[in-house]
């Protein structure tokens, strides 16, 4: 992560003082590395050993629940 941030910083340095095209390439590659490599590894590491069953949608509970029938039709006013 630190290396990617350093590469981004170097990319901004290149944009200001050197070749803007190569600077933008450094910034883009480091950003892609952060979001497609580091972030998925972080998410997998944080949630690999947790019970996430409480966060999933369970259709069997919804089949027995008739509260959502209001949403299927127009509003009825008395």
Domain containing 36 equals: 1-43
Q: What is the pTM of this model?
A: 0.62
74 has pLDDT over 70: no
43: tokens are 């998410």
Domain-embedded: residue 16: yes
Task: Return the higher-pLDDT residue of 58 and 7.
Answer: 7
pLDDT in tens, 10-32: 999 999 998 999 999 999 999 99
Domain-embedded: residue 35: yes
Domain-embedded: residue 23: yes
Domain-embedded: residue 50: no
Domain-embedded: residue 6: yes
Domain-embedded: residue 57: no
Let me know how long the chain is.
78
Give the list of residues 6+ apart from residue 10 with CB closer than 8 angstroms, or none.
23, 26
pLDDT in tens, 29-73: 999 999 999 999 999 998 888 887 777 776 665 555 555 555 666
- Number of structural domains (the chain) is 1
pLDDT at 64: 54
Give the list of residues 6+ apart from residue 16 with CB closer than 8 angstroms, or none.
23
């Amino acid at each position: 992560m630190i290396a990617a941030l350093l590469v981004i910083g170097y990319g901004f340095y290149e944009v200001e003082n050197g070749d803007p095209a190569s600077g933008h390439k450094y910034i883009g590659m480091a950003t892609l590395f952060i979001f497609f490599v580091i972030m998925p590894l972080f998410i997998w590491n944080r949630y690999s050993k947790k019970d996430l069953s409480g966060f999933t949608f369970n259709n069997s509970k919804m089949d027995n629940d008739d509260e959502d029938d209001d949403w299927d039709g127009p509003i009825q006013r008395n």
